[in-house]
Every structure is written in structure tokens, then in C-alpha cells.
Structure 1
Amino acid sequence: MPTSSRFASQSRVPLPGSERKPFVPAGAPKAAKTPKVSTAVKTVPATGRIRVSLIVPPKQPLDTKRLGKLDARLSRAQFAARHGADPASVRLVKAFAKEFGLTVEPITQPGRCTVQLSGTCAAMRKAFAISLVEHTTEQGKFRLREGEISLPAELEGHVLAVLGLDNRPQAKPHFRIAKPRATNVSYTPVQVAQMYGFPAGATATGQTIGIIELGGGYRAADLTAYFKTLGLPAPTVTAVPIDGGKNTPGNANGADGEVMLDIEVCAAVAQGAKIAVYFTTNTDQGFIDAITTAVHDSTNKPSVISISWGGPESSWTEQSMTALDAACQAAAAVGVTITVAAGDNGSSDGASGDNVDFPASSPHVLACGGTKLVGSGSTITSEVVWDETSNDEGATGGGVSTVFALPTWQKNANVPSPTTSAGGRGVPDVSGDADPSTGYTIRVDSETTVIGGTSAVAPLWAGLIALANAQNKVAAGFVNPALYAAGAKKAFRDITQGNNGSFSAGPGWDACTGLGSPVGNLVIQAVAPKSTTTKKAKKGKTK
């Protein structure tokens, strides 16, 4: 058979989980006007160029049962050697790309199971047997596909996901700007940390916190001015561009509010930590590529990653969720903690019925819900579930996944039954102050404002983990098993009042605030990794 028709002559197989539902505009903060689709739908020009990310299998699958074990942790180099992209799959993809006139981009991070291809829209249509159309919304023009991607039969099992053919907005930021009310109070991140018992005077020197951003940007002058008001030096912040994303500050009503909230909260509570902000495009491709890049970043080496973007599980394709969760598994394997906002639209997550937000619902991240916190100094006078739906100021996300099964470490948490046989993972795991009426004083685009949302809780917990990593002199890594252990109960303030719609708070874990809000110094003790090798050695000596 001639090489030129090797793949073209093969029968086609659908790529599992690649089906795209009809387009529904998404991606803007709730305060923004909902974008509308125009009646004009055009075919994408054949000569336009696209870059796609193909996810291929690893050389060896991860043993997910060992994630979180200190003696199973790998360096980034070890992970790349054992679990990087399968060479046989990469060779097939390269041959496929050559036949269809696609260019293979250089692979710069061997730990990622990602092969990027670029080429014209016409070549992509032919290679993946798809149609591409252009929709126009108030947010701009988007390239869309619907239905399944198909592959030549020889690639079956060698390509797990194809991301980037469709560039519709995938996620929205989970922050809420406080509405002016006489009853509102606000705190600096340092004051919130003090109420939650973060160790006074502790620093996170030597740690890097990674932040994933799907838009917006920061200005160094704002950071300098903000930290001056706190009496602290401004952090060292590095912008890392992914898939064409970059630091592009706009205005305080856009995604800048998310970016500045994330940087200012985590840097204020984890003084001395460096910040690496991974800017990417608001697509499933950009989101996943940013996470894999951050996890395998051997230059900045983040030990914890904060994510404050997401969307209902129903808004994601199965292939995208699987690929993103695999990236979070890789993070756990190399000792990187990922904290994720649980959403700001209560138990519905802004969709019909009950839904949980993804990637917060991944069982390999620490999902962060929200509370309404009142106190001063080191004293908390009241803390209940964040629920301001009556004031149109949101409520904490939380509920039960319909996609991910109940993890072993959550089996004694009394998570409500799932509505699907595949589901069961309860969200959130932990919580913290998120109500905009008790929000955080933040500087955005030369303005001081008060912002809340679970977007504040993910960087708050990321900062706490960075402090723990510095104090314990070892990265906490995948912390969920340790935090759900019986011995960690004292590390939380149990939130027992309030609801987020369908779920109510109560003693122990609940689908509003998880295990509760942090008792900082005890969380640091709880997440200190414990070696199992030493225990086994001791047992062997006693026999």
C-alpha cells in the first residue's frame, strides 16, 4: 500500500467521548451581558489555520491507588521516563499528520502526553472527518464543530482526545463583585488568614504557586501598590503564555478581577512564594494544555496550582474531562496539589437541575466551596454557608458528580447518592470565605474593590498548602486522603448552618462546605506526607 494513502484508505472509527453538543454561548462573568448567537452561520474558510492538541496514551498507566503516597511520588524527570507519551502512538500520529498535510509541533515537555498538530482548516476537516462552522456572538466569532470526530482505524486506542478543532468558550471565572450594601464587611487576605489560624509570621519562601487563567491580566504597578497597603513586598510574578494566551489586562469588570483576586489572595497569605501565572485561551484545549504545562514545568516548578475557572459537567465533552482529569492525576504523581473553585451558582451550577462544576469534580483535585465569614482579629463570630441567591450574589457550588465515582477516601463522608451509576464523587472537599458581602479587599486596574466567590477560596487554600510545603519541608502533594482521614477532623471548622439550594449543611462533610473551613496550623500538620516505607521496615524488624 502506498504511504500516501495508508490512513486515507482505512475505515473510520469514532473517537470515544468526542461528541459535541449544539452550541450554547458561555464564558462571560455573570455580571456581563449574556452573549447572543447571530442568525448568520458560515463555513470556516478552508485556508484558515488551526493548531490542535492530540492526547496520546502514556508509556505506562499510572497506579492511581498509590497517588498521595510519599514513597510512590515521582520527580518530573522520572514521570516523563515512565509515563510520558507512548513512542509508538507518537510515531503513528506523526505518520498520520504527514499524510494529511499537517505539521507536528516540537515536543518541549516530555512528561506531557500531548502532540500538537497545525494545518489548514481544509486539512483538519479531511484528517478528522468533521465539518467546521463559524458562529458570531457578542463576544466574537467562534469556530465550532458538532457531532463526533472520527479517526483512521489504525489510530484507535492511540489517540485519546483531539482538542482545539472547536474554540468555543469552555469555562467562566468564579468571582463575584460585591454590591454596595450598608451591612457589608470586607477583609484583606491577611485578615482572613488570621481568622483561619494560618501561622503568624510563617512564609512560603522557596515555593512557587501556579495559577491557571483563561483571560485577563495583571499590571505590576497595581501589585506594587496593593502590597504596599498591606505593608508587604510585592511578589515575584511570572507570566507563562500557553496556546496564544498572554497577560492582557483590560478592565475591572472583565477577567482582570479574577486574575488579580487569585494573585493577591495567594501571595498575601503565602508571603515569599513566587507566582507563575499560566495564561491560556478559554477553550478546552487551552485549559488542558495550561494544566499539563504547569504540572510538568521544570523551570518554575510549582508545588501547588490554583484554578478558579470551570463549568457544569454537562458543558464538557467526555474526552475533555478524561484528559483534564489525567493531567490532575499526573500532578498528584509528581507531588503537586491542585485547588479548584467549586462554582458560584449554588447546587444548580447555573444549569437545569443539580450539577457540580468541573474541574472541581475531578477526584484528583481539592474542590473549594464557600462560606459567609464574620469576625475580627483571630476570632470568628459567625460562619455559615454562602448563599446570597436572594440578593442575586450567588451561592457556593456543591453536590454529587454524575461522571466521577465516589473515591475511596470519601466513602465514610456520607455523600448523597448519585443520580447516575457512574457518578458519586462529592463536591466540595473544603471551604473558606467566599460571600461577596464578607469579601476580600482587592486592587484591580487601579481601583480598590471587594470581590468574593469560590474563586477566592482556591487561591486561599493554595496559599495555605504553599505554607505547609515550606514548613514541612516537603510538598504536600495529593492531600485529599490525608484531609479525609479521621485524624484530620480537628483541622476544620465544621459549618453546620445554611444551604446552597438542594443541599444543606450539617455535622461532618456536606455538599455545601465539604469538611469545613481551615484551622490553618492544624491543616499544615495534617497534610505533612508520611512515608509508608519506614513503617514497613519497622514491621519487618519486629517479626
Structure 2
Amino acid sequence: MPTPQPRTVVRGSERTCPPKAHAVRPTPPDEPLEVTVRLRPRAAAAGLAPTAFADQPPHTRAYLSRDELDAQFGATPQDVAAVTDFARAHGLAVVSADAAQRRVVLGGTVAALETAFGTALHQYESPAGRYRGRTGPLTVPGPLGDIVQGVFGLDNRPQAEPHFQVRGPGAGAVAARAAGASFTPPALARLYNFPAGADGSGQCIAIIELGGGFRPEDLTAYFTRLKLPVPAITAVNIDGGSNQPTTAQGADGEVMLDIEVAAAVAPGARIAVYFAPNTSRGFLDAITAAVHDKTNQPTVISISWGGPENTWTAGALDQFDQAFQAAALLGVTVCCAAGDNGSGDGVADGQPHADFPASSPYALACGGTRLTAMGPKISSEVVWNEGPNSATGGGISTHFPVPTYQNALKLPKAAKAKAAKPGRGLPDVAGNADPASGYEVRVDGQDLVIGGTSAVAPLWAGLVALLNQKLGKPVGFLQPLLYGSLAGKGGFHDIATGTNGAFAARAGWDACTGWGTPNGTALLAALAAPPRAT
């Protein structure tokens, strides 16, 4: 009998049981399932971080092509082979292997996967429903310890929430418009002075969705009413996800809000929607697929789903962050909603919590405001805060350290925060998000007013598409510029009134609305300006 190989823990794989959840029985050992194994990048020693982009304007940046990204940062054939051999030794099938995306999909029975990764899978009951889960770390044979960076799919608990809120009964789009308290996306684009003479042509906006779907007849009715071209949507199915519309109060509200805002702001852009299951595996695989997509070639990604950092494994946080770093190397901007539950992010422990994936230093975190307009001009704009569960997210990451571009900031500390260690501050930017001043959309045959930072991510994605078109080169990783040479150049409406609970707005950057809401034309002019002499 061969001597068992020493095993090593997969870094960051520890899982805990959520509050109020409990295991009820083991998962049937013969149940089939698939997992995604994430491998180290080829250039692991150098790291993925695009440090060369520090405060470097878009027209001077040298972005990688997707082929170059694959060649420089994909997994090596040797690492893929090592995982393949490991799978076969444990009776697992290699469903697919993609060295460029650094992923190998393995299939097998629950029993085989439990043995392969040193864990036990149980069925759990929780307030959110039933799921298959695990606790503790995962392990692999010692030689795979540096190769395997994550294993996703064993645990299929719902990982994220859509960050949208439907305005209450009796406050549909028609009534809200009559009261002057809601906006179409083009109306907001005008209030935010988005660049004229651009429609996003030549750009592709990728939208990540973890449920729900769209109905073509709704899109036709909505865009016909706006007198805009009806967008042709490309649906990309990931890990069994697909366009599956249900109800307006469900995830369809998220999907339609994202599509309608992005396509109305940038009607010339192509829209690709990546549908995946709402699990850490599905979410990560969808983002990775969008980043590496050589068919649709997105130039900006919009993500309106997320959850508190403490609900993710450390490994998941790092793998998402690596995907966003890869996007930065390509010149792809990743816009993420900062959350709708104030500084606590829906966690009932009295502590501030940052929402992920917005808290990644490589995500453009999008916070929320409440906007009032008088004719063609903004008359008032404050931090969106209608209570702890209807307010913009924002705060300080407890996982990601302060990025270089925020070194000069005086980052705030919440009065009740236990953690003293500084971290990445968010959001970076903001936009109208309060349902009381929300977006007029159409979902499942209904005209609704919807708010939430979910609307801000596609709003900014649409603006980025316009900026890319006008500049002739992607703006890509914006944050070093926002915190550097663009500061004070008039590209933002500073929001200095209001709080999101633990954090208060102030002049300049703050943990409620970042630098503020966009003045699109001024932002374009600042991005197009020649670099300062040194």
C-alpha cells in the first residue's frame, strides 16, 4: 500500500458556517458536481499588479492584448498537467482546462471530491434557504500547494446580493416623473454633463448577472419610448447560468436596470451579459470569462452584485482581485456597486463593513447620492441615506491594504470600528442611487422606478464607454488618475453633505461618495490633457 502524500492547506480556503445556519445531513456521496480549480499565474514571481500605470494618462499607457495576457500570465502546461494527474488519481474527470484563464474544471462524485480536497460536504439550512456547504480549510497533496490557488464549487451557498431597490407601491415611473423625482438614464447623463457627440460606438460593455433575465419585448418598448436604438444583447452562459426572467421584484429588476442604464447612456456600445449561478464559483468564472473574452472583447465591465467582505473566503477575495488586475492590464475598467446597506453593509454586529467586490483596489467602487434637479441643472445632491438598509455603502476594507494611489489620503476611521489597521477606502466615485430620485426602467411589463448603487455601476460603465470612444484609447484602470493628476481638475461634483452611518461626507474624497458624481465633459478634458511636466 503506497504511503499517503503529505497534504498542504489551500491558502485562503477556510470556510465558516454563516450565522443562523446549521448542517442538517451529509450530502449524498454519489451526487455529481463540478468544481473550478484556480491555478497560479505563469508570472507569479512578478505578480499581476499593473504598477506601471500609476497616474499615467490613457494615451501613454501600453495595454496588453488578450493574447499577450494569456502568454504572460496564463498557467503553464506543466501546472495544468499536474492538476490533471491529481484529478485522475482521485477518480475525477477533467471537464475542461483553460490555461489562459488559469482554470481547470473537474467533475466527480461528492465522495471523490471530498477525498481529493480533504473536506466533508453537508446540506445546510439557513434563513436564505438550503445550500451545500463545508467548514474549515481545503487541502491538496504537497506538490500542488503552490500551484492550486483556489477551489470553487464545493460550497454553493448564495454568495452575493443584487444592489438595487424598487421604489414602493404607488410610486411607479409615471407618478414619479410627474412629481419630478425620477429620471431616465439619458436625463441623468445630461445632468452629469456626459460628453456630447459620443454614443459608445466601438465599445463593448460586459454586465455580470447572477440570476434573473431580460425579455426582448421590454427592451423594445423601453428604448422605443426613449427614441433610442433597441440594443442587441449577447447572452453568455457560464457554469449552467442562462437568461431566465422571473419577476420584476426578483433578479430581473437587476438585469433590466443594468442593461437599460448602460445601453441608454451609451446606445452605440455592444452589450454582453454573462449569466452565472449565484455562487463564488459562478461569480468568479463569469468575471474571468468576460476579462478573457476574445469574441465580445469587453472594454468595461459592470458589476452590481456583492456582499460584505467577511462573507467571502480570503482566497476568493484574492482571486477576484487578480481577475481585476488582469482587466487593468488589458485597459478594461471594472465598475462595481458599493452596496445599499450603509456603512454596516447589512451585517448586524454594529461594526462597519466594506462591500466586495467593490473593495478590491482594482475595482472602480461606485457609491450613491440623492439628486434633485431644477430643469436642466442639479439643484441639490447629498449622500443617499434613508436608513441603515437604504443607504450607500462605503468604508474601509479589512482585507486589502491601502493601495499606493490612496497613500496621500487621510482615511477615516469609524467611531465604533474595532480594527485599527488601515485599508483600501471606498467608494471612488458616485452617482444618483436613492430610489426616491431613482431611474425609470421597464421590467417584466411594468414601468418602475429603481434605485441602488446597482444603477451607478452601469451608469459609470456607460460613461467609460463614451470616454473610451472620445479618447480613442481605453481609460482602463482609473484610480491612480482619480487620486493623482485628475484631483481638482473639475471632473466631479463634490458631495459634502450627509453620512452613510459610520462615515460622513466632506470636501474632497470621503467614504460615502468618493470624489463625487461625474462632470463627464470636464473629466474627458482632464483625461485628454497632456501629462504635467516633471
State the TM-score, normalized to the length of structure 1: 0.91
Superposed, 1:89-128 pairs within 5 Å as: 89-108=79-98, 110-128=99-117
Which residue of the partner structure matches residue 500 of structure 2?
500
8 A contact 1:468–1:528 mirrored in 2 = no
Superposed, 1:313-328 pairs within 5 Å as: 313-328=309-324
Structure 1 position 43 matched with structure 2 position 38: no
Q: Structure 1 residue 43: deviation in Å?
A: 1.1
AA aligned to 1:50 is L
Which residue of the partner structure matches residue 467 of structure 2?
468
Give the SS at the match of 1:402.
coil
Q: Which residue, 191, 195, 198 being the options, matches 1:199?
A: 195
- Map Cα deviations across residues 211-242 of structure 1 (whole Å, 9 max, x no partner): 00010100111001000110111111111000
Q: Structure 1 residue 423: deviation in Å?
A: 4.3
Q: Which residue, 80, 83, 87 being the options, matches 2:77?
A: 87
Partners of 2:275 and 2:77 in 1: CA distance: 29
Partners of 1:514 and 1:42 in 2: CA distance: 46
Partners of 1:486 and 1:200 in 2: CA distance: 24
Q: Which residue, 304, 313, 338 being the options, matches 1:308?
A: 304
Which residue of the partner structure matches residue 369 of structure 2?
371
8 A contact 2:48–2:322 mirrored in 1 = no
1:48–1:422 CA distance, 2 compared to 1 (3 A):
farther
User: Structure 2 stretches of 5 or more lacking a match?
Assistant: none
8 A contact 1:203–1:272 mirrored in 2 = yes
Give the SS at the match of 1:367.
strand
Give the SS at the match of 1:397.
coil
- Map Cα deviations across residues 59-117 of structure 1 (whole Å, 9 max, x no partner): 11324322465544210000101110133221211110010011112335x42111111
Partners of 2:401 and 2:464 in 1: CA distance: 26
- What is the RMSD computed on CA atoms of the aligned residues? 2.1
Q: Structure 1 residue 412: deviation in Å?
A: 2.3
1:65–1:530 CA distance, 2 compared to 1 (3 A):
farther
Which residue of the partner structure matches residue 41 of structure 2?
58
> Which shifted more, 342-351 or 60-69?
60-69
8 A contact 2:498–2:505 mirrored in 1 = yes
Partners of 2:291 and 2:512 in 1: CA distance: 29
Which residue of the partner structure matches residue 242 of structure 1?
238
Q: Structure 1 residue 414: deviation in Å?
A: 2.0
Q: Which residue, 9, 14, 26 being the options, matches 2:4?
A: 9
State the percentage of identical aligned residues. 50
Q: Structure 1 residue 24: deviation in Å?
A: 4.2
Partners of 1:263 and 1:126 in 2: CA distance: 43
- Map Cα deviations across residues 374-428 of structure 1 (whole Å, 9 max, x no partner): 1144300000000011xx7600001111111111111223222586466411010
Which residue of the partner structure matches residue 221 of structure 1?
217
Structure 1 position 513 matched with structure 2 position 513: yes
> Which shifted more, 475-484 or 486-495?
486-495
Structure 1 position 160 matched with structure 2 position 131: no
8 A contact 1:262–1:455 mirrored in 2 = yes
Give the SS at the match of 1:266.
helix
How many pairs does the alignment contain?
Answer: 514
Q: Structure 1 residue 150: deviation in Å?
A: 1.2
8 A contact 1:76–1:111 mirrored in 2 = no
Partners of 1:377 and 1:413 in 2: CA distance: 36
Q: Structure 1 residue 530: deviation in Å?
A: 7.2
Partners of 1:79 and 1:226 in 2: CA distance: 38
Which residue of the partner structure matches residue 121 of structure 2?
132
Give the SS at the match of 1:487.
coil
Give the SS at the match of 1:105.
strand
Give the SS at the match of 1:160.
strand
AA aligned to 1:66 is A
Give the SS at the match of 2:461.
helix
AA aligned to 2:209 is E
8 A contact 2:53–2:61 mirrored in 1 = no
Give the SS at the match of 1:191.
helix
User: Structure 1 stretches of 5 or more lacking a match?
Assistant: 26-36
Which residue of the partner structure matches residue 273 of structure 1?
269
